[in-house]
Amino acid sequence: MAVARTRWWRWRRNPLRRGSDLVEAWVVLSAWVFALVGGVIAGVVAAHAIETTAERQRAGVSAVSAVLVEDAESDGPARVVADHRVWATVRWTTPDGRTHTEQARVPVGSRANSAVTVWTDDEGRITPEPLTEEESRLHGVAGGVLAAIGLGGTVLGAAWIVRLSLERRRLAEWDAEWERIDTRRGGKTG
């Protein structure tokens, strides 16, 4: 026996549709709309914020030529170095003539008195190398996708919780209805 599938039954008038069915239909529709539209907006805003922060970071630092004070040796094979850089002491002179000596990350194997490039902020402190435009774009896209997924998931999760409470309410209504029908006939269900 083939069962006819009725689409959109919550939106049509029928004797079996309850008020909670219509509420559930609106909850699902609005949740999907808010999840999609809100996710896109959150993603765009997050991506823009990340890229703007990276641009601000790039504008606030400058590359400076420094001299390595000591050999940049690896700590040994026990420690895996991901970017092939180690901490070593470097010395550089600021445009106003002051000499600074500080620890910086330099390529492994660099020898003392060799020139290395370090990044400094406006106050002359060593900072990490800023992200390139491509890296900041990649970070922006990744952050935007995560923000969109996070907001969309939160909205759909909240809609799922609302649907669960509507389902409990619907089952309670069915229980009350069956109880009322059964007691009219003099019987007792369950």
- CA angle 129-94-65, nearest 5°? 50
Instruction: For residue range 49-106, list pLDDT tens digits in order.
Output: 999 999 998 888 888 888 888 887 766 554 555 667 888 889 988 777 888 888 888 8
In this prediction, residue 128 carries a pLDDT of 86
The model's pTM: 0.70
The arithmetic mean of pLDDT across residues 173-177, rounded, is: 85
With beta carbons less than 8 A apart as the criterion, state whether 25 and 160 touch: no
Tokens of 182: 């059964």
Identify the bridge partners of residue 92 per DSSP, sorted by sequence position.
100
In this prediction, residue 3 carries a pLDDT of 61
| 46-55, 153-162, 175-184: least confident range | 175-184
Q: Does the CA dihedral 78-80-84-87 come out positive or negative?
A: negative
Please tell me the distance from the alpha carbon of residue 145 to that of residue 166, in angstroms, as a whole number. 31
If one compares 150 and 94, the residue with the highest pLDDT of the two is 150
